[in-house]
Chain A
């Protein structure tokens, strides 16, 4: 495997790698404990959630899941969230990845300045952007549409993607594109045929990160959508801010669990495919 070298002296001792894995697993367990608590709470009736001391044994209920699924808007919101996260994630990874490549590898007068400007645009507090974006969208008649939200999310995803991908591209050996371009590839061709495949780990991690940011974004979704393009985080904020009955933690944890699942499945698939791909590449190479 690629990172074999990092394990350091595998052949000499089997003890340290095991300690290392155990420590990694312990860290994972600690990080997942709050998630475990979330999943556990989602199966509790509301009156069982805040007991003193907390109950580990209780009559589990699926009530929160059913109740929430029955709400008319949940499937629509889920679909919207997927469309918006995928759309903005993909646009950002393409546009941002290319820009990152330009910064890392192409000599381009002024590109550095533009790159830094793009990065610095992230300094604007999102609260300041949301209202004027709404005003623009309203005058163009595109409020409450997916494309508006997708483009709005691109404004904060592209700078991140660009900068992260620049970091990944910088670590690549320089001879790669040269040989490709001597073979007659255009610059763009070399990028997509040679650079992109070899940078897959970085690209996919960055894509996952971008989609997660879009997946849970609340402020823009709140301001730019009303109904047809409204996403899950808006619904979650609504449940948490229930001013009639108090925050329903059963429902909140259920929705929390429900929204985490697709991303975890997606990430697992990507990881599997990624490791597979790397292994293939290693044997071929």
Chain B
């Protein structure tokens, strides 16, 4: 809260006056204020949003018109920025005296970074409460996705595009190898036992043409999430209660070695595979299992333009069990309002609608986006293919919530993640031992988080 006031006091005078007067009117005169904050037909309110280029265009053309059916006087403009530059670009903009963007769409580990520079509005403050509909049910959100936009006890955002690291299964390849198709009860040990059989020659030309698994192995910040998930499901964690690195131990080393062992059963060249490459291998029917973000399900199982597989062939579930639990890893996109926005009420209206029960239902039914609310997940999905997806998603939320399966929550979490990526890659490339990689990473991360 203090941080927030600090940020507010440094605002341009105009922004301060607008938001202050809006707040006063909102609490005093109810209806009139709402009309002003949300625009009138003569004077529509304009809000701008910065989002991942991967979905900005889709939102602009499909989501915004739907939103405008409910709030016709809020004009929403969405600018897309490529994923890897989005955080830096959001930070650059949000820290200026009068930012361009009213709404910031932040990936899972970014909220602490944005919040710690005072860029985000507390969505459960008294002021925002006045703009929040009474039937907006905060408790209906699953704990794990909602926690993605919480920092230091303050709720800065709402989940608008949920995602989880999942395991995809090519059932045909399992059947061909005579190996039982995985269930959520599958353990890593069982998987590694079965894996040699899943490396097979399917067309009988004497050359191996199908492998057991493909996933992230390349040097990039998301690759360590695979290792982390294996570690988490064996009861390990990235940091201890004091926020010090706790991954450089036996569990961490074993998990890292397991991740590298997967390479033995992965397609040739998988060491340089990441999100897109491993996804292609799965969609081409070259690998029996595939660990990737759940959102790729539709393009891998349903959409014939992008995949060679059919819905019956593709399974989706949580990652194999370790000694403690099944595995998952959280990847929630949260929507947050800029602390310096001149139209915070309208900005919040966009996010509020999108994350409401109604908005979420529309979002998942029409754009295939994963919901975060328990009620949406429990209800009958609009499309039959979403049924197994929702089941798996609910299991993943539970596992992630229990095992704290997410990246480091800290104002410098991306710096720490980059260090993990570097050391992880050195180990995968065979340049250092697992112990050394993790010790170096722990030492560097401890310095960064200080």
Contacts and interface: CB of A to CB of B under 8 A. Distances in A.
A226 B54 contact: no
A131 B54 CA distance: 24
For A144, A222, A246, which residue has the most chain B Cβ atoms within 10 angstroms?
A246
A253 B304 CA distance: 20
Given A227-B77, A237-B82, A245 B284 contact: no
B96 interface: yes
A73 interface: yes
Contacts of A63: 305
Interface string B262-291: 000000000000011001110110100000
Contacts of A237: 53, 82, 85
Contact of A246 (B60, B82, B275): B275
B136 interface: no
A47 B92 CA distance: 38
A14 interface: no
A235 B56 CA distance: 11
A47 B286 contact: no
A65 B316 CA distance: 32
B305 A241 contact: no
B85 A222 contact: yes
Interface string A62-89: 0100000001110000000000000000
A223 interface: yes
Contact of B92 (A73, A131, A239, A241): A131
A46 B306 contact: yes
A140 to B, nearest CB: 12
Contacts of A243: 52, 54, 83, 275, 293
Nearest to B295: A244
A76 B17 CA distance: 36
A247 interface: yes
Interface string B237-280: 00000000000000000000000000000000000000110011
A52 B284 contact: yes
Given A222-B89, A247-B276, A47 B307 contact: yes
A245 B306 contact: yes
Nearest to B286: A52
Given A245-B296, A247-B276, A47 B304 contact: yes
For A238, A244, A245, which residue has the most chain B Cβ atoms within 10 angstroms?
A244
Contact of A47 (B50, B85, B100, B308): B308
Nearest to B207: A52
B55 interface: yes
Nearest to B278: A246
Interface residues of A, number: 34
B79 A246 contact: no
B92 A223 contact: yes
Nearest to B275: A246
A46 B85 CA distance: 26
B184 interface: no
A244 B297 CA distance: 10
Contacts of B57: 71-73
A46 B96 CA distance: 41
B61 interface: yes
Contacts of B80: 238
27 contacts: A47-B304, A47-B305, A47-B306, A49-B280, A51-B284, A63-B305, A72-B60, A73-B57, A222-B82, A226-B79, A234-B53, A238-B81, A238-B82, A241-B54, A241-B82, A241-B83, A241-B84, A242-B53, A242-B83, A243-B52, A243-B293, A244-B295, A245-B295, A245-B296, A245-B306, A246-B279, A246-B299
Interface of A: 45-47, 49-52, 63, 71-73, 131, 134, 138, 143-144, 222-223, 226-227, 234-235, 237-248
Given A144-B100, A245-B54, 20 more contacts: A47-B283, A47-B284, A50-B281, A72-B61, A138-B96, A222-B81, A235-B53, A237-B82, A237-B85, A238-B53, A239-B53, A241-B54, A241-B84, A242-B54, A242-B83, A243-B54, A243-B293, A244-B52, A246-B279, A246-B299
